[in-house]
Amino acid sequence: MAVEAVVMGTVPVVTAEHVSKWYGQVIGLNDVSVSVPPGVTGLLGPNGAGKSTFMKLITGQLRPSKGDVKVLGEPIWRNPHLYFQIGFCPEQDAFYDRMTGLEWVRALVRLNGLTEKEADEAARRALAAVDLMEAAGKKIGAYSKGMRQRVKMAQALVHDPQLLILDEPLAGMDPIGRRKTIRLIRDWGRAGKSIIVSSHILHEIESMTSNILLINNGRILAEGDVHQIRDLIDEHPHTVYVRAEDPRRVARQFLDDTTDDVRSLRFEPGAVVVETGRPDAFYARLTDMAASGEFGAIDEVTSPDDNLQAVFQYLVK
């Protein structure tokens, strides 16, 4: 009944009431009360802010030390039936490496009660949705970081859940993979699915949704429109780590361009670290560079969370 109401869009997909979570003496989440509406919601916060704890509580992996967590209108802890409606893509890069992508996704969706044939069809659909069908027969151990992220997404959406919970789904992806994944998430949102996606990079979240939850030090600092937060972050330089086949060539292009979005750069082994004052323009340019293929392979793009930490310090002053 509650799940139907959520599907109709009348009930929040997640509600937390005075939820706290302690790990011994360490507090992971501190008296959080929040309602997540249907649609795409971004959970934004630096590492250690409590994002993962929140994600684990709303996926029923942890039990709140205090308070109540309800997902799709029902308590999630020890309620496995709810997982028919929930798909979870965890942050950790962990797999059964000896299995192929297809075998793995198929085996997992079998746990949802599908027959062998149904599971095979569903797994193929999910892998096609994340653009991984070509590598479906390869062992996961041989996948690149971006492919591993995508196969994790595939196992999350393979049973066509109503609510997708994605923990840092873009971490370590190459620019093209990021763009595709962002587009996928937006499409799913438009198709009526509810998605909670975490990240420590504001620009990632902003490209998927304008509805955010801002979390820091185990507390929800703000919820609502991302654009107000964005104005603040633009005042702070944003650091991007780009791992590439030829970092010097990539760096040269960054400096040659007239967009004036790079403030400084430095080299690390196999990578260039860029400080930008205009992250949107920079990310767009980086994606175009990767797509053109003229600058060698751009393997990984990550952003340390110290950018966001600076904004949070600013916000909580």
Partner 1 sequence: MRVFDLSVSEMLWSRRTIFMALVVGAPVLIALFLRMLDAFGAPVFRVNNAMMAGPAIFGLMIWVFYLRFTVPVLGVFYGTSLIADEVEDKTITYLFTRPIPKGAVLMGKYFAYLACTLFVVLPSVVIVYLSIVPMRGNLGASFLDLLKDLGLLAIGLAVYGAVFAFIGARFKRPLLVGLIFIFGWEQAALAFPGYLKKFTVAYYLQAMVPHAMPNDSVVSLIQGVFRESPSLVESLVWLAAILFVFLCAAAASVERKEYILEQ
How far is the CA of 222 from the CAs of 80, 113, 197, 296, 316, in angstroms?
A: 31, 39, 16, 41, 11
Tokens at 254, concatenated: 């960054």
d(CA 315, CA 178): 28
Residues 15-34 that bind partner 1 (CB under 8 A): 23
Site for partner 1 contains 50 (CB under 8 A): no
Task: Name the packing angle between helices 101-110 and 145-157 (round to 10°).
Answer: 20
State the minimum distance, in angstroms, from the CB of residue 88 to partner 1. Answer: 4
Q: Which residues, including other chains, have CB under 8 Å from residue 316's CB and lie 6 or more apart?
A: 216, 221
- Cβ proximity to partner 1, 160 vs 280, nearer residue: 160
Q: Which of 31-39, 85-93, 180-188, 244-252 is the region at the interface with partner 1 (rule: CB under 8 A)?
A: 85-93
Site for partner 1 contains 183 (CB under 8 A): no
Q: Which of 55-63, 120-128, 182-190, 297-305 is the region at the interface with partner 1 (rule: CB under 8 A)?
A: 55-63
Site for partner 1 contains 72 (CB under 8 A): no
- Cβ proximity to partner 1, 88 vs 143, nearer residue: 88
Please give the sequence-ordered ranges of beta strands (E in DSSP) within 91-237, or none if there are none. Answer: 163-167, 194-199, 211-216, 219-225
Q: Which of 74-82, 212-220, 261-269, 304-312 is the region at the interface with partner 1 (rule: CB under 8 A)?
A: 74-82
Q: Which of 54-62, 177-185, 214-222, 292-300 is the region at the interface with partner 1 (rule: CB under 8 A)?
A: 54-62
> What are the residue ranges of helices labelled H in 23-171?
51-58, 101-110, 116-129, 145-157
Site for partner 1 contains 142 (CB under 8 A): no
59 half-sphere exposure, CB direction, 13 A CA radius: 23
Judged by DSSP in three states, 162 sits in: coil
Binding residues for partner 1, rule: CB under 8 A, are 23, 52, 59-63, 78, 80-84, 86, 88, 90-92, 94-96, 98, 107-108, 110-113, 155
